[in-house]
Amino acid sequence: QPGTPRPTGHMMVYPGVHYLLFSLLDACGLDDPDRKMVVVRLLHAVWSLVIVRTGYRIALRLSADPRIAWRTGLFLALFFFMPFLSVRNLVEMVSAPFLMLSAWWLLKGVPEVGSSGEQAAPPTATAKCLLLAGIFAGLAINIRFQTVFFAGGAGLALLLRREWKGAVLFGSAVLLPLIVLQGTIDLFIWGKPFVEMIEYVRYNLDNPDN
């Protein structure tokens, strides 16, 4: 930026990963931009497969029907916008696998549907499931701030189930990646943590109509 730099309200984890990747490629002698982007596209393609695999497992857990799970995975793989967008530098797509993983670990605490189709009352979610679900949700927020509403919905569901300890554990796990990654990066760049996040909220409050 010309003059005195100022925060712009962008989460810096995803650009930072690319900075490290391009530095690594430069060190390996790969300095052609087109070839660099081929590497980026391939990495994004592999990452997007997490959506297909996790979606299959979620559908299998909810339906207990391998046919439904297979069709779910097939639709996730073949929907026309998925293969095209999943290889591009879009935080909306890059954060999706983290959200799917978070949903899967939240679902792990729910018993599988029996052969009769009946389902018992969900037991208290295990600490491991909530911890992993929270970490993945926090990683998604590091990529795209708006995914905070996903974490908020899951936390609210735990509160409605009166799982106070579970809600605290999940919330703490969500904050962990934010503090370690986003907080540390902003502290390094701006001298204060969470500057970009605060700027993002401020900008949207000041510009609700444009």
Instruction: Work out the average pLDDT over 45-57.
Output: 93
Q: What is the pLDDT of residues 145-200, one digit of tens each?
A: 999 999 999 999 999 988 888 899 999 999 999 999 999 999 999 999 999 999 99
CA gap 101, 154 in Å, rounded: 13
The reported pLDDT for the residue numbered 112 is: 52
Q: Distances in Å between the alpha carbon of 137 and those of 15, 100, 153, 191?
A: 19, 9, 11, 26
Instruction: Work out the average pLDDT over 33-43.
Output: 95
CA gap 114, 124 in Å, rounded: 19
Cβ atoms within 10 Å of 12's Cβ, excluding its own:
20
Instruction: Work out the average pLDDT over 49-59.
Output: 94
Coil vs helix vs strand at 130: helix
100 near 51, Cβ under 8 Å?
A: yes
Q: How many CA atoms lie within 13 A of 95 on its CB side?
A: 22
Tokens of 36: 């660099």
Q: What is the pLDDT of residues 77-136, one digit of tens each?
A: 887 566 788 888 999 999 999 999 999 999 986 545 444 445 555 555 688 899 999 999
What is the pTM assigned to this prediction?
Answer: 0.87
